[in-house]
Structure 1
């Protein structure tokens, strides 16, 4: 099985969900929003002068490197990744990324900041640049542009392993079907002392309900007691994520 490249997965999802009509609508929105965004940005900079920073202009970079926040979120949830500020990245940012940022600043006369990294949580805690990660910078239209990527591709089974903790519905479905399988595997004599009870008796349904409640309780304890929170809740937060 092939490993998973995060950037390729982002591009695949973008190409799958966007149509030519979407591109035309987005281009029209860019034209309409250009003046308004410029005015709002000036007002924002006036009110937050010390905290303001330049944004990269989407018209100056390759559109293949631009991704919506919703597209990044989809991939982050599918593969249980974090999309958070680069300040939480413990290891040194690759020098190649620094050079690319420097070139952008010089070519576009900007002072780019507000960088974010898409990577597994472990990548933010380790000193080595071993795990797959992508560095983004925000654009002037609220999207994100890829600056640099590094590390090894994700394992092919990561999406499958992350499915149950993607959101509450997936977690409940996992517990539900696991309980159903366990219930169907239990011999009838272990469920009831009634020798006349059939395999599909009400006793088995009652056993299923009791086991479901038990497994939900155990899952809730393991999930939250050990910090294994749902990806849909904490994909863009550094804390509360296992």
Structure 2
């Protein structure tokens, strides 16, 4: 019977309750500190993205990098020219940075024990002027002309975009388009008795059409302040 009658020391019970509460409070305080530190760092990351910090290279642990996220400047340049995109410092981006992008940066910083900077973004020109976005890509430089893809968000580009902007890649593609249009104009031009009697009438019509189409389209292109993709992919001026 004595075994069933266990005595309770109230002083000991009070000490256990107090120690348990202290431990819980310490845990809550530590969690609060971590959350506050995280909030401060997230604000610093956002400021670095929106203001720019002039960092030219980030030192990351190579073994922890995903090879599918490493791209050379030449590869970025090509996709910008193909799709008429810009590759600029993140401070020019007006579309807003999503929370998941900041989370990705924070996770990378924790994994690599460093602070990231020098962020750049690939996106259409209007994204750097207006608060809308299509498929922005956030990069961080890792040296020797290489960039690490930190995060991608937004909507995918129109699958036809590469075709629509192809004529504006450079002067050669622009000229090829005008030649194609000139051939079409020559083909749809009806024959007359005069054209039948004039040697090489088709060639003359083609050359006239080419000269006219090229002059009008080129004049309109530059009058609108536009430039070819190869000239604007990393330009900070938005009247291109």
TM-score between the two structures when normalised by the length of structure 1: 0.70
1:170 matched residue in structure 2: 173
Partner SS, residue 144 of structure 1 = strand
Unpaired runs of at least 5, structure 2: 1-52
Matched, 1:65 2:69: yes
Distance 2:195 2:94 in 1: 63
Distance 1:204 1:58 in 2: 65
1:91 matched residue in structure 2: 95
1:214 matched residue in structure 2: 212
Q: Is the 8 A contact 1:227 1:240 kept in 2?
A: no
Per-residue deviation, 1:58: 6.0
Moved over 3 A (4+): 50-54
Matched, 1:182 2:189: no
Deviation digits for residues 181-227 of structure 1 (CA, Å, limit 9, x no counterpart): 101210122xxx627527xx422212221221111111211211113
Q: Is the 8 A contact 1:180 1:208 kept in 2?
A: yes
2:152 matched residue in structure 1: 149
Whose Rg is larger?
2
Deviation digits for residues 20-78 of structure 1 (CA, Å, limit 9, x no counterpart): xxxxxxxxxxxxxxxxxxxxxxxxxxxxxx95565143613111110111111221111
Change (3 A) 1:233 1:195: closer
Change (3 A) 1:196 1:218: closer
2:194 matched residue in structure 1: 194
Per-residue deviation, 1:137: 0.5
Q: Is the 8 A contact 1:234 1:241 kept in 2?
A: no
Partner SS, residue 194 of structure 1 = helix
Partner SS, residue 72 of structure 1 = helix
Change (3 A) 1:54 1:215: closer
Distance 1:73 1:207 in 2: 39
Unpaired runs of at least 5, structure 1: 1-49
Q: Is the 8 A contact 2:60 2:114 kept in 1?
A: no
Partner SS, residue 132 of structure 1 = coil
**Which one of the candidate residues 54, 58, 69 is aligned to 1:55?**
58
1:100 matched residue in structure 2: 104
TM-score between the two structures when normalised by the length of structure 2: 0.71
Equivalenced residues, count: 187
Cα RMSD of the aligned pairs, angstroms, is 2.2
Distance 2:173 2:188 in 1: 23
Distance 1:97 1:195 in 2: 65
Change (3 A) 1:225 1:240: farther
Q: Is the 8 A contact 1:81 1:119 kept in 2?
A: yes
Per-residue deviation, 1:86: 0.8
Per-residue deviation, 1:89: 0.4
